[in-house]
Amino acid sequence: MDTIVFVCTGNTCRSSMAQAIAEHKKEEKGIEVEFLSAGLAAWEGAPASSQALQALKEMGIDLSHHRARGLNGEMVARARLLLTMTRSQKERLLALYPWAREKVFTLKEYIGKEEDIPDPFGQDVEAYRRLAQELSSLIEEFLDRYQESRGLTF
């Protein structure tokens, strides 16, 4: 089974939300893929932000079990894809693991877009709601593109 890792800085907002949304959508689509998330500067064991919890709860997704973890070489080696939220995170990941170049993309880059996904850290719950909606759309596009690239139909 393929493993896909969503990567951000602290693993309490964007990447954790992306993982939870992807897990939810894979259930809907019947896709067998393992989704993980990690941070480049994560505080190990920290919970997802309260705003992230609320935004996903409103979408029917439970993020309360999430605990932040740092990206490590084992995760990078295991991953079929590593998807960062920003170009600077991609550059940092590649500086740490240059041998993984062919499997590291920003989430938007993978689906043919260029912008970064903004960090809602420190903002109100409305910013997290907007992020959750954006991630939901992006992950839907990602899953469609990923299925096509793998020649998979579900």
Amino acid 17 reads M
As a whole number of angstroms, the distance between CA 26 and CA 88 comes to 28
Element (H, E) at 26: helix 14-29
Helix, strand, coil share (%) of the chain residues, nearest 5: 50, 15, 35
Would you please indicate which residues are annotated as catalytic (active-site) residues?
8, 14, 119
Using a 10 angstrom Cβ sphere, with 0-12 exposed, 13-18 middle and 19 or more buried, the burial of residue 87 is middle
Lookup: tokens for 20: 């939870």
